[in-house]
Amino acid sequence: MIKAVLSSFSKIDIHTKEVIKKSASSSMVKIIGMVFGLGVSIFLGRTLGPEGLGIINLSNKIVSLFVILGLLGMNQVLVKNIAIGHSKKNWQLIGNSMFTAYWINGGLTLILSLLLIFAAPWIANTIFSDSRLVFPLTIAMIAMVPQVFSRIFSSGLIGYRKIWQSNLVNQTMSVVIVGILLFTFWVFNLVITINRVALFYGMGRLVVTISMWFYWRKLFHHKQKNNFIAGVLLKTALPLFFVSITNIITTSSSPIFLGWLGDAKQVGFFSVAARLALLTSFFLQVTTSALSPKIAALFANGKITELEKMLQKITGGLIIIGIVPVIVFVIAGNPILSVWGGEFSSAYWVLVILSIGQFFNISTGATGITLMMCGKEKMLSKIKILELISNLLLNYFLIYYFQAIGAAIAIAFTMALINTIKLLIVKNKLGIKVIKFNR
């Protein structure tokens, strides 16, 4: 077996090796973030209970919708443009793209943030009927502008092929800061409340943005005057905006519907199960960051055969990796959930169903990012509209009758359907077989 593995590795093409190399560094960073994230979630589950954890996660999910609205799909355009600019040493393209994003996305998000801060009490009391949500929601809305700028810098770093650095600052650092603050309060026996946890998350996002700004300034030294190229970027960004907004609605609608049709406790159960289930697609998330610039560059240079070979190698590995968490959750889901507290074992079937859905997600490979990086943004947006409609309808009816289990069924079914469609379109429209079937 060892000889077979070594033989297979020796046959990997240079592009796949680069993705694996980039992914290895990113994996270590993401694992650190994942460990801290799980630790923070467990601590909050035991300290605040399912309802408190549900309120924190609900406020974050609500604001994540508006963060995507502020980005207007520009983050993926930045990855693509900066990857192309970096490969061709077109520093002016990089400078123009980032400069334009600062003004468009920063300005729009500032306006949204101010409006939503005033609307926070109405959203909390009228839509979700929970006054405890007002303060966490207000803090999360104040932090919207830093979040959007951190996403812009993160996209720049990914396009610049600084993958693990992007993951470190944009994802891991925030949860590490929250973890440190929680640990400090615990050591000094200070009271940990929902409102204080909301402040911790806001502080973490601010520190992340400042750190990413300094790093980007150190990395990119282009001193020529930057031009405002809104028309060029928005032409590509708007179709991607629909992709992004449907993505975030798909991932956020379940806890939001649960907060609306159920209660904070159901949100807490679902949030823990969803966090664990996402471990199934962990390596897909890591490789997607590394794949994005490679796909864009290879497709732009007409190297379709090399692109297909790279995607097949990556996807084959992801399928093997993806089945392991599903088996673990089926066998040991209850004791794993009980780590958060005895009440959380009620989320066993939610966890199992969500992990199966995530397996469909990882086993079809990076089909979505392939369509995006290969100029099929409009087609991808149409697929995402179908995904959005399916997700919202199933969520409403299934959550109404089955609560958190209904939410899990809605997500798993939608994932299986949409990823199968994307797999077929990549094959038929781009001529790329993401999965290689050996005879």
Identity of the highest mean pLDDT range in 149-163, 251-265, 400-414, 425-439? 400-414
Tell me what pLDDT residue 6 has. Answer: 41
**b/e code 413-424 from CB counts within 10 Å (16+ = b):** bbbbebbebbbe
Residues 175 and 36: beta-carbon distance below 8 Å = yes
pTM of the entire structure? 0.77
Q: Per residue in 65-85, pLDDT tens? A: 899 889 888 887 888 888 888
Residues 272 and 347: beta-carbon distance below 8 Å = yes
Residue 171 has pLDDT above 70, yes or no: no
Residue 1 has pLDDT above 60, yes or no: no
Identify residue 362 by its one-letter amino acid code. Answer: I
DSSP letter assigned to residue 168? I
C-alpha angle 57-58-59 in degrees, rounded to nearest 5: 90
Tell me what pLDDT residue 3 has. Answer: 44
Residue 222 has pLDDT above 50, yes or no: yes
DSSP secondary structure letters along 304-367: HHHHHHHHHHHHHHHHHHHHHHHHHHHHHHHHHHGGG-GGGGGGHHHHHHHHHHHHHHHHT-SH
Residue 21 has pLDDT above 70, yes or no: no
To which H or E segment does residue 385 belong? helix 377-430
Q: Per residue in 225-249, pLDDT tens? A: 888 888 878 887 877 787 677 777 7
Query: What angle in degrees, to the nearest 10, is found between the helix axes of 144-159 and 91-122?
Result: 150
**Does 392 or 320 have the greater pLDDT score?**
392
State percent of the chain over pLDDT 70: 90
